[in-house]
Chain A
């Protein structure tokens, strides 16, 4: 499986990372190198193996479905790059 620059650009767009054509040219062989190496996993017979879901046996706990913390609007917004009237603001998304 070989990754070309078009694939790199597609993956970058899925990952929401802007890349230039020059970046894609540089990244394609790097990613191919790494992906080529990890493909050796294909030689392991895993037909009767379950994929790991928890590394240490543990019980997933459930908590009561109640509000435990609230009234923290200022704290939540404290590090926002841009906030207005108690909201996070983003560029206009509705025309």
Chain B
């Protein structure tokens, strides 16, 4: 018999409705797995009581014959960037250690209203800054994958990066200790970890999901989205996360489509663009082959493939590394040791000294590095040369996409330039930033984009394909994701070593 923890969101939801198993059984099974997986370091805080409470409510509703909520009794993981009322929310930082919000983020509130339960708060890169989960104050998340798993490639026990920043989410889903989780994506933080761990994840159009109660990194880019083991599960979670929120001034005042019901892997009549500029010099043969495989799958699903050009692609990463740190330096100014979080007050210190000491002690190296870059590019004399120029280049990048979408419906690219690397292997900050080369452009343009597993490399590690859609066309993105999922037949999974 299949273990309950092998089931995804849809199967758990349907099984609870059909009384095949109880929500309590589901919660118990996942709680056991979570507590047995400490070696992954995927959780900062475990909240079994929250999951059990949601299960109890679901089972009572089943017993009473009531109409069940969309996610009744389904337990999930919550990235520790979402404020959860009464439950420690740290953004994986020391400066917010012990912070217990007195409010609930809109996205998490929506999920609880839909009947979901919380297994715990998932680890991440500190303030969502990183591509490997090596910047958390609470230690690295370790991917459940290992090179040479399932007899493919040479065996190697080096701990691998689960991707970042939503690495706790990706590791927990791939290890089957949660069926799905929330992520946030600023420059690829849902898609790249999904690709590294062989799962799916979608960043919706900017403004679909409320940012209210999500610890801010770069406000014009940050967007929440779901991560799960199937495209359908992503659609279900996204439906229950998205929606207008008057508390977020950038929230889109639009109805949430019924993405799950409209899912179809039939792409007849769709044109998929292949952007020439994503074929980087020195792209590995494996990534190139995966991309070609993806093209063939989409053709098989009925899509017409066309070549497109996004001429400003090479400027996306440098523009991102001006805009994101600039916004971060402003957003993170709120951590000053006065209203919440850590306070470091050296003997005889004045107010300025207290701010400086608190922030020095409370922020990690990467966070400080980005705040300093952001402060520098915004400082007097440099603002126009850096920030204004980056925002102009951002306009050009968005126009590139607009032009491409005048002749095609979707774009297909690899998600990341490589499979997961070993923790500690990518020590140079600039080299680490290059990991986001394929995901950042869509973030700068606010477009919906998804990663789905496409295959495994010669070391037995997962590789992802990225689909980018027009603004608000999550349905098109999910449908193309489903077409790939149906043809890739990705069933590889990490062997349990934890």
Nearest A residue (CB) for B99: A79
Query: How far is A33 from B433 in the complex, measured between Cα atoms in Å?
Result: 12
Does A85 reach chain B (CB closer than 8 Å)?
no
Which chain B residues border A52 with CB–CB below 8 Å?
Answer: 391-392, 394-395, 398
Please determine whether A16 and B356 come into contact, CB atoms closer than 8 angstroms.
yes
Are A44 and B471 in contact, with the CB atoms below 8 A? no
Binds A, one of B24-32, B318-326, B453-461: B318-326
B369 interface residue (CB < 8 Å to A): yes
A92 CA to B369 CA, complexed, in Å: 30
A7: min CB distance to chain B, Å: 8
A50 CB to nearest chain B CB (Å): 6
In the complex with contacts A41-B318, A42-B389, A52-B395, A17-B369 CB distance below 8 A: no
Q: Tell yes or no: B1 within 8 A of A by CB.
A: no
Alpha-carbon separation in the docked complex, A51 to B393 (Å): 7
Contact, CB under 8 Å: B356 / A46: no
Q: Of B48-56, B288-296, B347-355, which stretch is located at the interface?
A: B347-355
Q: Which residue of B lies closest to A10 (CB)?
A: B379
Are A50 and B100 in touch, CB under 8 angstroms?
no
A12 contacts the other chain (CB 8 A): yes
B398 touches A16 (CB 8 A): no
Encoded as 1 (CB less than 8 Å from any A CB) or 0, chain B from 88 to 106 comes to 0000000000011111000
Residue of A38, A51, A80 touching B339 (CB-CB under 8 A): A80
User: CA A85 – CA B398 in complex, angstroms?
Assistant: 51
Mask of B296-330 contacts with A, CB within 8 angstroms, 1/0: 00000000000000001001001101100000010
Docked Cα-Cα span, A55 to B394, in Å, equals 9
Expressed in whole angstroms, the Cα–Cα distance for A37 and B336 within the complex equals 31
Task: Classify chain B: how many residues form its interface, as a range.
Answer: 35 or more
**Which residues of chain A are within 8 angstroms of B376 by Cβ–Cβ distance?**
3, 7, 11, 31, 35
Measured CB to CB, the closest approach of chain B to A6, in angstroms, equals: 13
Q: Which of B337, B340, B360, B446 contacts A56 (CB 8 A)?
A: B446
B7 part of interface (Cβ distance < 8 Å): no
Q: Are B373 and A51 in contact (CB under 8 A)?
A: no
Residues of chain A from 8 to 55 with CB closer than 8 A to chain B in the complex: 8, 11-19, 27, 30-31, 33-35, 37-42, 44, 46, 49-55
Q: How far is the CA of A76 from the CA of B373 in the complex (A)?
A: 31
B34 to chain A, nearest CB (A): 26
Q: Is the CB of A60 within 8 A of B392?
A: no
B63 / chain A contacts, CB cutoff of 8 Å: none
**A90 lies within 8 A of chain B by Cβ:** yes
From B333, which residue of chain A is reached at the shortest CB distance?
A: A16
Q: How far is the CB of B339 from chain A (nearest CB, A)?
A: 6
Asked if A79 and B445 make an inter-chain contact with CB atoms under 8 angstroms apart, the answer reads: no
B129 at the interface (CB under 8 A from A): no
Q: Across the interface, do B371 and A15 meet the contact criterion of CB distance under 8 Å?
A: yes
Do B252 and A18 have beta carbons less than 8 Å apart? no
Out of B336, B379, B393, which one reaches A46, CB within 8 Å? B393
> Is there contact, CB below 8 Å, between A81 and B430?
no
Give the complex CA separation of A41 and B323 in angstroms: 12
Does the CB pair A31–B372 fall under 8 Å?
Answer: yes
Check B249 against A60 for contact (C-beta < 8 Å): yes
Q: Point out the residue from B349, B390, B445 that lies within 8 Å of A41, measured CB to CB.
A: B390
Q: Is A82 an interface residue (CB 8 A)?
A: yes
A70 within 8 A of B: no
CB-CB contacts below 8 Å: B352-400 with A: 352-357, 359-360, 363, 368-369, 371-377, 379, 385-386, 388-396, 398
Contact B359 A88, beta carbon cutoff 8 Å = no
List residues of chain B with CB within 8 A of the CB of A71: none
Residues of A near any B CB (own CB < 8 A): 3, 7-8, 11-19, 27, 30-31, 33-35, 37-42, 44, 46, 49-56, 58-61, 63, 75-76, 78-82, 88, 90-93
Known A15-B375, A34-B430; further 11 A-B contacts with Cβ < 8 A: A15-B374, A17-B371, A17-B372, A33-B430, A37-B318, A41-B393, A44-B396, A50-B392, A51-B395, A52-B391, A91-B345
Which 8 residue pairs spanning A and B have beta carbons closest together? A51-B391, A55-B446, A81-B343, A79-B340, A46-B392, A18-B356, A18-B360, A15-B375
